[in-house]
Structures are given as structure tokens and as C-alpha cells.
Amino acid sequence: MWRWQRESGMRRALLDRIDWHVRAGERWALLGPNGAGKTTLLTLAAAVEFPSRGTVEILGCTMGRTDVQRLRERIGFVDARLGARFAPMLTVRQVVHTGATGTIGSFEERLSGLDRERADMLLGAFGLGPLGDRRFADCSQGERKRALIARSLVARPRLLLLDEPFAGLDVPGRETLLAALDRLAGTDPGLAIVLSTHHLEELPVSTTHALLLRQGRAVAAGGAAETLADDPLTACFGLRLRVIRQAGRWSAAAAAG
């Protein structure tokens, strides 16, 4: 993936030599320092951007040789900008319903009974049942994040991409979202999930794999137990780190001495 750098007038690789496969049911953590390329990689995986070189195959479709609109219907992608796109008067339930129509605007008349049932089930699964009639714009950041993830699941995607879903959440907000993601892993075991974050404390217990990026390249990729370890994370962040795993959760801090 190459981008034109206006400042230098040069082309620079934003992602380079990445050979990464995500299979059904795998739940990946995507980690790396600021500017490592996490968002860029997720926009490729979401079929939002096209690679300038190399091949991207998503859900059996090769980018550049497929109808991206139809492909995007099978992908749930939640990034930091999504929430700001909804009209302020929409309720949480209406925002979640837009997942069925694949729109930002509300088209309630197009919803089937099954769509409404699924949306209600997801509102409950993400702890939003009592908030269905609240204006989305009035919700806390954590509530909005959960509503957007619920929205992205209404159309039963096979790939869920979450770009820094914990950004701005307090500890209870983080823990509520983590519990919802762990439940989702149990209720939809075939769903592939990729979640980017800066903090190991924000990884669901159900994480199965990790990809560590640094300066657009993969430092390590593989099973969570081997990849989320002292040496790979030290190489990724350029700081000697010690990783602790307790009750399935990870945390990291600078190594002493």
C-alpha cells in the first residue's frame, strides 16, 4: 500500500510485505505504535481502500475483481468517524436499524420483522435494551460504541473490523464492551473479528491471534499466546516490555531495570 506524501513529494509505503490470513472464527488483535499502519490495514480489509500493489482477498473475493458494494455488505466496520455521520435526532434503536439497510439515513419502512427482531436481540446483547429510545447523540461514548457495533452486526457480517473500539472509554465502559465481545464470540463462533488497540488490557479473553505492526511491516503474527509475549511486543513498540497474562486477560508495562 503506497501513498503520495505531499510534504516530501515522494511516494512512501504505508504497508509493506504483509502476508496475513484471517480465517473464519479467528479473533485477531492488531497492535502497533502510532502510525504503524493499523487503520490503513483495516481500511484495506474493509474494502474501503484498494492496495496499490499486492493482493487483498476478502471473504473469497479478490479486490479489484469484485463488486465492492456487495462485499461491504458482508463486512462490519466500525471506526472512530462512523458515529458522527448519523443525524442527531436518531434514537439508538434507529441507528442500530440502519445496519439492516446499510445506510446512514433511517429507512424504517424498509425493515422486515426479522430485521427488527435481530436488532432487538443485539440491543439486548450489547446492554442497550433500556436505551433504545434515547437519542444516539445524547449517549455516552461507551453507549455509542456499543450501539455502532450492534448496528454493524444486524446484517450478519462474516468479518467484523473494529478500529480502536475502546478509545475514550472509562473502565466500566471498557469492561462492558469486552464482556459483550466475549459473548459475541460464543454466540457467533464463525465470525472473524479484527480489533485494533494500543493497550493489551483492552483485549477480549476470546482473542485467538495477534498481528504486531511497526512502520507498516509485520513484526510478528500468529497465535495470541506466542505473539502477545515480551520479545515480540518489545520489538513492536521499541521499548522493553513485560507482559502478564492473568485470568485470560493481558497487560503490559515497561520491564524493570
Of 38 and 209, nearer to ligand ATP (C-beta) is 38
**Least spacing, CB of residue 200 vs ligand ATP, in Å:** 14
CB atoms within 10 A of CB 122: 22
First-to-last C-alpha distance (Å) of the chain: 39
**Least spacing, CB of residue 107 vs ligand ATP, in Å:** 31
Of 37 and 165, nearer to ligand ATP (C-beta) is 37
CA 168/CA 253 separation, integer angstroms: 20
Of 139 and 203, nearer to ligand ATP (C-beta) is 203
**Least spacing, CB of residue 198 vs ligand ATP, in Å:** 6
Read off the C-alpha cell for 16.
509493506
Kindly provide the b/e burial profile for residues 82-98, where b requires at least 16 CB atoms within 10 angstroms of the residue's own CB: bbeebeeebbbbbbbbb
CA 35/CA 212 separation, integer angstroms: 13
**Least spacing, CB of residue 43 vs ligand ATP, in Å:** 8
**Least spacing, CB of residue 173 vs ligand ATP, in Å:** 19
Read off the C-alpha cell for 49.
481502500
Which residues are CB-contacts of 78 (< 8 A; sequence separation ≥ 6)? 145, 148, 149, 152, 160, 161, 162, 163, 165
**Least spacing, CB of residue 34 vs ligand ATP, in Å:** 3
Of 16 and 120, nearer to ligand ATP (C-beta) is 16
Of 79 and 143, nearer to ligand ATP (C-beta) is 79
**Least spacing, CB of residue 252 vs ligand ATP, in Å:** 16
Residues that bind ligand ATP (CB under 6 A): 3, 5, 14, 32, 34-40
CA 225/CA 238 separation, integer angstroms: 20
Of 136 and 250, nearer to ligand ATP (C-beta) is 250
Which residues are CB-contacts of 135 (< 8 A; sequence separation ≥ 6)? 88, 89, 90, 91, 92
- Cell 422486515 belongs to which residue? 112
Of 14 and 149, nearer to ligand ATP (C-beta) is 14
